[in-house]
Amino acid sequence: MVRQEMPERQFASCLELGAGRCLQSPLLLEFCSSVLATDLNEERLMSANVDRRIKRAVLDAENFADEFEDQKFDLIFSSNMLEHLPNPAQCVRESAKVLSEGGIMVHIVPNATWRLLCTLLYYPVKARNLSRKIFGSPHFSKFGKVQKQLPKSQENNIKSSEGEKKKRFSFSPPVHGVSPTLRAEFKQFRKSSWTKLFADSGVRVALIKSGPLSTGYGLGFPKLKFLLEKLGLASAYIFFLVPDNETSTHISLK
């Protein structure tokens, strides 16, 4: 979807923030000559084999500009990473410092629809998992796949010990990122909240696109998902950002 908005653009260098296990890094190689995949969690970052064109580095997404004194990047990319940072605006400001002239930042972030779906489906998914564990899934055999749990050392909110503690076990739906409550997370994930965050960070929103539809639970139902996406339902926003003084974005608006 990112590529669709920039069909003619080929980036020489890409900095991927919060790359995790580099699952999306190979996709970036389709329009980037080289990718530097970074994450603060070294164990997670180094847990998978990657293409030789993908370099990896342990990096704090809120404090990294000084690591690249003379190096600039044509594309800075993150997917579902900003909500895990205590200070996402600082990450955007750091990104702007290492963005090349004419470069673009792309941040994919969850929206309030995703938060709502995850909350509503939390108990049905709990029931599915319990049924499969006790009875061998006789009642929920078609209700998606049980997602493989990451080791605690590879969880997302590495900067928030309290957030990770809440995620370990809870009878109520846990927060996804570092927000203190579900209510706060609903507010943070609204389009207006993300737009304000970027504006306050000194960058300009050049384009906002709706991302795919996903719950994070691996429920399947591809035909229903396809229909809902056609109707405009999405669980993420894709923000295309440029420095506030940049006039040319090289983005093909459709």
Percent of the chain residues topping a pLDDT of 70 = 83
Instruction: Report how far residue 116's alpha carbon sits from residue 125's, in angstroms, rounded to the nearest whole number.
Output: 14
17-38 confidence digits (pLDDT tens): 999 999 999 999 999 999 999 9
Q: Which residue has the higher pLDDT, 55 or 139?
A: 55
pTM for the complete prediction?
Answer: 0.85
202-217 confidence digits (pLDDT tens): 999 999 999 999 887 8
For residue 195, pLDDT over 60 is answered with yes
3 state DSSP class of 223: helix
Give the residue carrying structure tokens 């629809």: 113
Domains belonging to the chain, first-starting first, are 1-254 (3.40.50.150)
Which residues, in sequence order, are bridge partners of residue 73? 99
Instruction: Report how far residue 222's alpha carbon sits from residue 210's, in angstroms, rounded to the nearest whole number.
Output: 18
Band of the pLDDT at 142, cuts 50, 70, 90?
A: low
| 236-243, strands of its sheet edge to edge | 54-58, 32-39, 11-17, 73-79, 99-110, 236-243, 203-210
